Amino acid sequence: MGLNRRLLRQQLIALAIIVLSSTVSHAQDRPTILAGHGTLSGSILPLWVGTDAKLFEKHGLQVRPIYLPRAAGRPALVSGDIQVYFSAGPPVVQMRLSGGDVAVTSCVVHKLTSKIMVHPAIQKIADLRGKVVAVANPGSASDFAAKLFMARERMRPGQDVSIIYSGSTSAAFAALANGRVHGIFASPPNDIQAAAAGFKPLLELGDLNIPYAGNCTTVLRSYAAKQPARMRSFVAGITEAVAYIRRRPSEARSILQKYTRVSDSAILQHTYDSEVQYMEPVPTPTAEGVRSILEHLGVSGQQAEAFIAEFVDNRFMKQLIDDGLLKQIYPDGVPAKG
């Protein structure tokens, strides 16, 4: 099974390189970073915009996004098949706890965001007891959100509320639509699709202001040490992408449409608005966001602080700030979120 998964991962990466190479006929002299991601949702928009708006190229770097579903991105990063993994925080925190020598160099979102979409018969949080909810994969952002929410509500996963793993966010929505589950932890566009299908929001986790590390750039620490200029350029491109997304919504929605293949203008607008609402203008990874994830995983105190000191790598962002990048992209001052 492990061999089959590795072969599948290698085939996906090889296919992505072939497809991407056919669309890139210039800038061959620039160093290249293969950036994996495990979802086709709006959370990946900064990576896609950085690529399509040539913001990485502006900083002398060629970046090629590669979709690696079903958690294939983490082993691809460790093996060196990709150089960057653009991901939610919980999977890469667990990757580090399991021995992967990784660090985060930027995080676009600093608080937990997800919307609980449920069957109309569920009127309040207590009504979830005895029900079944779907999340994507073990260790995924939706899995983390579900378990953290249940812990706060003093519900026990598997006892008070059952969790099934659907394999993807779109499969979770399908499970809700066909009646296999009573609720999902949804991000755009699945939340609006669920609403259109007659389901309703129970709670917006963003309103709880739980510190979090989301939409993060994850890299092997050895790669960052060997290629600091490339990582600095990557972080610069992500930072500029956030500013671009805020400043040029029409172009950002077009890029979102290209990669998600969603053509419905209302869904695209909703996804754009939802993502921008929580984007940090300066995507510095924070100790607070990582600490929140660690606490839920049972890691605290001195062990957590030692972990954070190695896992959160802010040096590239600090260099860019010192060199005046924020003044260039925000000439009128760094805006507030949303």
Q: Are strands 32-37 and 62-67 parallel, antiparallel or unpaired?
A: parallel
Show me where the domains of the chain are located. 2-110+212-329, 115-208
Question: Global pTM?
Answer: 0.86
Instruction: Show the tokens assigned to 191.
Output: 């939340």
Q: Which pLDDT belongs to residue 75?
A: 94
The tokens 């949303």 sit on which residue? Answer: 338
Distance CA 142, CA 136 (A): 6
Tell me what pLDDT residue 59 has: 97
Closest CA to 80 of 29, 12, 33, 21: 33
Enumerate residues 6+ apart whose C-beta is below 8 A from 334.
281, 282, 326
Q: Tell me the CA end-to-end span of the chain in Å, nearest whole number.
A: 44
DSSP track, 168-215: SHHHHHHHHHTTS-SEEEE-TTHHHHHHHTT-EEEEEGGGG--EEEEE
Q: 9 is written with which tokens?
A: 């991962």
User: Token pair of 8, please?
Assistant: 């599948």
Helix 265-278 to helix 228-247 angle (10° resolution) is 120
Residue pointed to by tokens 């419905």: 264
Give mean pLDDT in consecutive 10-residue pieces for the chain, a chain of 338 residues. 53 50 51 94 95 98 92 92 96 95 98 93 95 89 88 92 90 94 90 92 91 96 98 98 98 97 92 95 97 93 97 98 97 84
Pick the CATH number of 115-208 from 3.40.50.10480, 3.40.190.10, 3.40.50.300, 2.60.40.10: 3.40.190.10
Q: What is the Cα–Cα distance from 121 to 309, expressed in whole angstroms?
A: 46
Beta bridge partners of 157: 161
Residue 115 near residue 191 (C-beta atoms within 8 A): yes
At 118 the pLDDT is 97
Cα–Cα distance for residue pair 81/35, rounded to 1 Å: 10
Helices (H), the chain: 2-23, 45-52, 55-58, 73-79, 89-97, 141-152, 169-177, 190-196, 221-226, 228-247, 249-260, 265-278, 287-296, 301-311, 315-322, 325-329
Class in CATH terms, 2-110+212-329: alpha beta
